[in-house]
Structure 1
Amino acid sequence: MQIVETTNEGLKRSYTVTIPAQTITSKIEAEVKKAAPQVRMPGFRPGKVPSNLVKKLHGPAIHQEALNTSIREAMDKLVSEKALRPAMNPDVALAEGYEEGKDAELTVSLEVLPQIAAPSLDGLKLERLTVPVLDEAVTEAVKRIADQQQRYETKDGVAEDGDQVIIDFTGKLDGVEFEGGKAEKAPLVIGAGRFIPGFEEQVAGIKAGEERTITVTFPEDYQAENLAGKETTFDIVAHEVKAPAESKLDDDFAKELGLESYEQLQGLLRGQLEQETAGLTRTAMKRQLLDQLAAGHDFDVPPTMVEAEFEQIWQQLSQEAEREEDPAAALAEIEAEKDDYRKIAERRVRLGLLLSEIGQANGVEVSAQEMSMLVSQAAQQYRAEDRQRFMEYVRQDPMMAAQLRAPLYEDKVVDFLIEKAEVTEREVTRDELQAAIEADADGEKPATEDKPKKAAAKKAKKADADDADVSEEKAEKPAKKAAAKADDAAVEGDAEAKPKKAPAKKKAAATEE
């Protein structure tokens, strides 16, 4: 095999690779011998079909397989001989005009990972912002649970805002009952906004035993097309009117939740709040760490990796914009900051490569047991009958496995660095901690309370995007195999084999989706 380097500029490399015809021919002969025992042909005993007939029958397929194998082996040899660390799979093209019996000439283009000196871990200084969990916060958490578990007591008189009404309702379109528009003894809380617009308002003022017919129009974007934008009537029968009952925060309340005492409930909630604030504290420390690493290291990164990262960020932002009240304005807003998001993508790739280098240099690994747990957890989002298929899919698809592994690997490297850093502590409020997390990387302060909430939300999204994305497959190991354009038959993963999520359950037509 002959290898000729044609480009060596920065991180870009190009080669011409020539595979001798004899190499491919020998593989064809080997494939023919391997296939012959399984070939069945009238007039010949099993396994006795002559090689020339086997080649005549299956020649094109055997030749393609031999060519694909030769290309894969050539790519492995190229990576090994030239000590390459591909950033992404190489772009491999077979020269036009190739035919069996001739040398195969390939053009190979790729980007390599930059050489990064193992960074010094001395001088890292971090501040741990801690938020004490006050008794008042625990009490507020208990009250929120009480509000969610709101009890109601039967009352005389008409239903007012906040009251619960137990009703039967029957929906009709043009005088005919429609599917999903009927329910018996359904609880409705006046003012809760859980039914379609106009429904609760017209039930307000009803009393037990009263019947009434209301007219409502379904929203234009309602999921049931036969009802979307249509005017309908609902026949209502009120069975009972209830008023909110005051919840006493005591042992009896805790026992209603399945606990032994109010003290136990407080302890559980305190633990949850401490865990939540500890997570925010770690997020703030991680942000400080990444900012320090980014400020102290500047090296070229592969453009293809940056583009792939940018596309991922852009797709997420575009989807979020589509869900805004004014999608066109939201899309125009992010379009105006496209260059900023591309810089974020470059920063993420650079930090990912740097963290990976630190992890490798210091023996940070994701164990087989940890990986198995990751796959099992990810499988839980699928239906029971599809979980095993998903786990098999991950085992067969290195890229999917890398996507699952990357966040845990990053967390382990970050934890390692936090342990090595000089850490000081400062007690702050929760708002101050949240502000530190939302602050932009350039030190700009997050939106204050008197500024539009949209700006703060946007800033938070930007902060979330501005993070490292470590992938061992991308940054730790060189690509072992190249996907040749000529290898049309080689499919890494069958999209149809991916399990699908179960559809959502239907709701009554009167309720909002």
Structure 2
Amino acid sequence: MQVTQTSSEGLKQEYKVVLPAGDLAAKLAAQLVEVQAKAQIKGFRPGKAPIGHLKKLYGKSIMSEVLQEAVNEANRKIVEDHSLRVAVEPKLDFPGGQDEVERALAAEGDFAFTVTFETLPTFEVGALDDIAIERPVAEVAEDDITTALKNLADRVQEFEPRAEGAKAENGDKLTIDFTGKLDGVAFEGGTGGDIDIVLGSNTFIPGFEEQLVGAGAGDERLVKVTFPADYSAQHLAGKDAEFEVTVKAVAAPTSLEIGEDLAKKYGFENFDAMKTAVKSNLEADFHKVSREKLKRALLDALDGRYSFDLPPTLVEQEFNNIWSQHEAESRRAGQPLAEEGKTEDETRAEFRKIAERRVRLGLVLAEIGQHAGVKVEDKDLTEALVERARMFPGQEKQVWDFYRNNEQALAQLRAPIYEERVVDHISKLIKITDKTVTKDELFKEEEE
């Protein structure tokens, strides 16, 4: 095997590889001998079929495997000999064209190809102890606990039928049949029977519930609405529609005090235990948002700290992922690809900067993690896999088997865990100062 470096430009390294015909022929001959010992060919005793005959039957397919193995071996050797840190799969090119490939498959000529490696950049991480970040923190107030308890009470709200002839009020539950029409024609998905709707819950199209206030059991109403412009069903988005609604029953909410009865409904021993659990869950939510703010500030600090060449293919892959998601979201919302106040080209340029940032930060975190010996433990990966499987009730085993048998999918599950571990490591090296804020301030920043 002859290897010659033909170019070195930035993060791209190109090599020319020549596999001599003699070496390939020798490997083919060795493979044919192995096949001869096992082959059972009609007209020949087991293991006695002539090599020439076997070559006619299997030579090309065996040589194809020989060439593939030789290419892989050459690439591995180049990486090892030149200590390359490869970013993506190497790109192969065959300058001799199909004719040369066919000659090589017949073991009648040398096999030459060029391979281009896109490598990872080399940079110094340096010390991180001069980074200072404020972490917003908020205390769980009694009002927060009360609000959470009220929401829990609303989830198990019970209703009792109103007296005959009573009219529906806001907060009542109606059981209805309806048929939706566009320009007088019923549309797919616009019909429902025995559907429960709580007036004021805003679970139906805007304006729908308000028009049923004052209705009684047995009443028929024509409800006129306009679907939102960003409605998920694109054929309905922004359209005016009419719904023929029949009210079958009206029920009023029963009173449920926030206390021992509510605690029992949720399986708690007593109300104090329920309040403690609710407060603990809220504290966990607050902590999660606080950590996300810390992480965002840390990533911003790291992004402004490093500047180096980025592997073009990694950037392109990340950009394509971001842009594809943007295209899908724009289609669902019925909106143009260009963001407000920008052209599509300007929007693409902005998204490419986001892709560059993600790739840069990914490389920085990977470098820091590698130097620090950060690892993802098997138990962490197992916990993440269990959580993922729980998201698909009834299909847990299929999900589990898919990830366990798919290394690439498992790597995608491992990546965010590794990133969190690296962030934990960096957090121990930098200066973090807690800044007390209100709940609204904490969550408002998250929404923005």
TM range (shorter): 0.7 to 0.9
Shift of the 232–331 alpha-carbon distance from structure 1 to 2, 3 Å rule, reads closer
TM-score (norm 1): 0.73
Question: CA 1:158/1:395 → structure 2, altered by over 3 Å: closer, same or farther?
Answer: closer
Partner residue in 1 for 2:4: 4
Query: Residues 90 and 127 of structure 1: is their aligned pair in 2 closer, same or farther, counting only changes over 3 Å?
Result: same
Name the SS for the 2:432 alignment partner: strand
Q: SS of the residue aligned with 2:315?
A: helix
Structure 2 residue 381 is matched with structure 1 residue 371: yes
Seen in structure 2, the aligned counterparts of structure 1 residues 123 and 21 have a Cα distance that, compared at 3 Å, is same
2:363 maps to a residue whose letter is L
1:340 paired residue number: 350
Q: Is 2:61 the counterpart of 1:61?
A: yes
1:62-104 Cα deviation digits (max 9, x unpaired): 1111111110001001111111111111101223131132111
Q: State whether residues 174 and 247 of structure 2, in contact with CA within 8 Å, keep that contact through their aligned partners in structure 1.
A: no
1:321-340 equivalent positions in 2, closer than 5 A: 321-327=330-336, 330=339, 333=342, 335=344, 336-340=346-350
Pairs within 5 Å for 1:8-407 = 8-95=8-95, 96=97, 97-98=99-100, 99-100=103-104, 101-156=108-163, 157-166=166-175, 169=177, 183-184=193-194, 186-192=195-201, 194=203, 204-208=213-217, 210=218, 212=220, 236=246, 238=248, 240-327=249-336, 330=339, 333=342, 335=344, 336-382=346-392, 384=394, 387-388=397-398, 390-395=399-404, 397-407=406-416
Q: What is the percent sequence identity of the aligned residues?
A: 34
| Contact 1:87/1:111 (8 A) holds in 2 | yes
Residues 266-306 of structure 1: CA deviation (Å, up to 9, x unaligned) = 11111111111111111111122222222222222212212
Q: Residue in 2 aligned with 1:411?
A: 420
Query: After the TM superposition, which of the residue ranges 411-420 and 394-403 deviates more from structure 2?
Result: 394-403
Q: Report how far residue 331 of structure 1 moved.
A: 8.1
Higher RCO (CA < 8 A, seq sep 6+): 1
Q: Is the 8 A contact 2:227 2:241 kept in 1?
A: no
> C-alpha separation between the residues in 2 aligned to 1:234 and 1:20?
80
- Choose 60-69 or 302-311, whichever is displaced more: 302-311
- Counterpart CA distance in 1 for 2:373 and 2:185 is 72
Amino acid at match of 1:272: N
Rounded to whole Å, the distance in 1 between the matches of 2:84 and 2:210 is 69
- Cα distance in 2 for residues equivalent to 1:352 and 1:179: 44
Q: Number of paired residues? A: 430
Task: Note the C-alpha offset of 1:400.
Answer: 2.7
Aligned to 1:472: none
Question: Secondary structure of the equivalent of 1:16?
Answer: strand
Question: What amino acid sits opposite 2:355 in the alignment?
Answer: A
Q: Please, what TM-score do these two structures have when normalized by structure 2? A: 0.83
Distance 1:200 1:235 in 2: 11
Q: What is the CA–CA distance in structure 1 between the aligned matches of 2:59 and 2:260, rounded to whole Å? A: 81
Query: Retained in 2: the 8 A contact 1:141–1:269?
Result: yes
Residues 444-463 of structure 1 aligned to structure 2 (within 5 Å): 460=448
8 Å CA contact 1:324, 1:330 repeated in 2: no
1:417 offset after TM fit, Å?
0.7
String of CA shifts for 1:470-498, please: whole Å, max 9, x gaps.
xxxxxxxxxxxxxxxxxxxxxxxxxxxxx
Alpha-carbon distance in 2 for matches of 1:235, 1:350? 56
Q: Is the Cα–Cα contact under 8 Å of residues 200 and 209 in structure 2 kept in the other structure?
A: yes
In structure 1, what residue type is equivalent to 2:56? K
CA shift in 2, pair 1:254/1:361, >3 Å: same
Q: Deviations over 1:451-476 (max 9, x none)?
A: xxxxxx7xx4xxxxxxxxxxxxxxxx
- Go from structure 1 to structure 2 and tell me whether the alpha carbon gap of 1:380 and 1:245 turns closer, same or farther (over 3 Å shift): closer
